[in-house]
Structure 1
Amino acid sequence: MKKGGNFYIFFLAFSLSAFAVVGHAQTPTDSVPKDPGGIIVYTIQNLSFGAFTRGNNGGTISISPSGARVATGDIIPLSLGYQFYYAIFDVESPPGNIISILYGPPVILNGSNGGSITLNIGGSDPTTPFINYATPPNRTQINIGGALTIGPIAAAPPGNYSGTFFLTFNQE
């Protein structure tokens, strides 16, 4: 950890998972698996913001559903071998169904060294709502982005932050 000047290296090495389950490509994360004619959601990849540093004032860092990482305020993204990426979910449902995603409320993430930061989930590719064209067992991939709001150093000291976010997938 660099402790010079006004910057501290701030590693956000956490995995966020939907529905409080870290799933695999073959394990559904929905609450009613194998519902005939229903929707099945698989967690493929968790959301990660990678490594970044910040000054005294904090700011935001976000990952878009296309994979772009953007920082504002006192946040500086770093390339130290820590990958950043959007969350990926595969959805299996009958073709022609309209699927919409409801994002849960902001999530408070608690740090390993005390403090907290706020995660806002939002943005998807394809944009919600969308029509499912895949016929089971084929699946539609959905990329989900998010943004972290990081306060001043006293409120969010460097460390590892983790938590769980919730998504609701509806089909018509």
Structure 2
Amino acid sequence: MLALRLYKTTLCLLLLLFSVIEIKAQENPPVPVQVEVRTSRNLNFGSFTAGNSGGNVSVSYDDQRTVDGDIFELNFGQPVSAALFDVYANPGTIIQIQDMGAYTLENQDTGIQIELFINSFSTGQRTFVTQAPNAQTPNEVFVGGTLRIPSDNSGNLPGTYFGTFTLNFIHQ
């Protein structure tokens, strides 16, 4: 009987002890959001020729080239490819791609210019959520665009055109 009473007293003291002790926990601080973007492949429209009426040459995010107007595809020279950007960010980061408008490409030999419009994203839209399992694995973003070939080109377009375009990758 004495052992039972001692057991009950000890149990009560333990329950009282656990009910009096204040347990505190602090959540981990939020992981800092850092986004790094690296260019892995440039946008390339391949080889084509343009008649006097002009037209458009487009490369989609999945490397498919289409032409309209007085444009004819040539299947030699540089391969057609969408631009590829590797986006490094924490999983679940919301990123918005901001395009800075129309761009000018120039033939450095002749000074002739044509316009480039960025209009095709593998993410489906300009806002996406990163899916890579960690920040060291890239989220691949493929980007395509359209060249607008002027109608009054008088056969002066042959050559190689160079230029740059700017995309801002904004994290939320």
TM class, shorter-length: 0.7 to 0.9
**1:37 and 1:64, CA in 2 relative to 1: closer, same or farther beyond 3 A?**
same
- The aligned residue for residue 85 of structure 1 is 81
Secondary structure class of the residue paired with 1:60? strand
- The aligned residue for residue 132 of structure 1 is 130
From the CA coordinates, give the structure whose radius of gyration is larger: 2
Contact 2:120 2:144 in 1 (8 A): yes
Contact 2:51 2:155 in 1 (8 A): no
Structure with the higher strand share, 1 or 2: 1
State the one-letter code of the partner of 2:136: P
Within the alignment, does 1:106 sit opposite 2:102 as a pair? yes
Contact 1:116 1:155 in 2 (8 A): no
Segments of 5+ residues of structure 1 without an aligned counterpart are 1-35
- The aligned residue for residue 61 of structure 2 is 65
Contact 2:96 2:171 in 1 (8 A): yes
How does the TM-score come out when normalised to structure 1?
Answer: 0.75
- Alpha-carbon distance in 1 for matches of 2:156, 2:114: 6
Secondary structure class of the residue paired with 2:57? strand
- The aligned residue for residue 164 of structure 1 is 164
Secondary structure class of the residue paired with 1:85? coil
2:70 to 53, 67, 74: 74
**1:119 and 1:156, CA in 2 relative to 1: closer, same or farther beyond 3 A?**
farther
Could you report, residue by residue, the CA deviation over 1:60-102 in whole angstroms, capped at 9, with x for unpaired residues? 0000011110001001111014211000000011111111101
State the one-letter code of the partner of 1:158: P
**1:106 and 1:42, CA in 2 relative to 1: closer, same or farther beyond 3 A?**
same
**1:113 and 1:106, CA in 2 relative to 1: closer, same or farther beyond 3 A?**
same
- Count of matched residue positions in the alignment of Structure 1 and Structure 2: 137
State the one-letter code of the partner of 2:153: I
Contact 2:50 2:157 in 1 (8 A): no
- Alpha-carbon distance in 1 for matches of 2:84, 2:167: 12
How does the TM-score come out when normalised to structure 2?
Answer: 0.75
State the one-letter code of the partner of 2:70: D
Secondary structure class of the residue paired with 1:164? coil
Segments of 5+ residues of structure 2 without an aligned counterpart are 1-31
State the one-letter code of the partner of 1:148: L
Aligned-residue RMSD, C-alpha: 1.4
The runs of at least 4 consecutive aligned structure 1 residues that moved more than 6 Å come to none
Larger mean Cα displacement after TM superposition, 66-75 or 124-133: 124-133
Secondary structure class of the residue paired with 2:168? strand
The Cα of 1:104 is off from its aligned counterpart by 1.4
- The aligned residue for residue 143 of structure 2 is 144
- Alpha-carbon distance in 2 for matches of 1:38, 1:155: 48
**1:80 and 1:155, CA in 2 relative to 1: closer, same or farther beyond 3 A?**
closer
State the one-letter code of the partner of 1:116: Q
The Cα of 1:156 is off from its aligned counterpart by 5.0
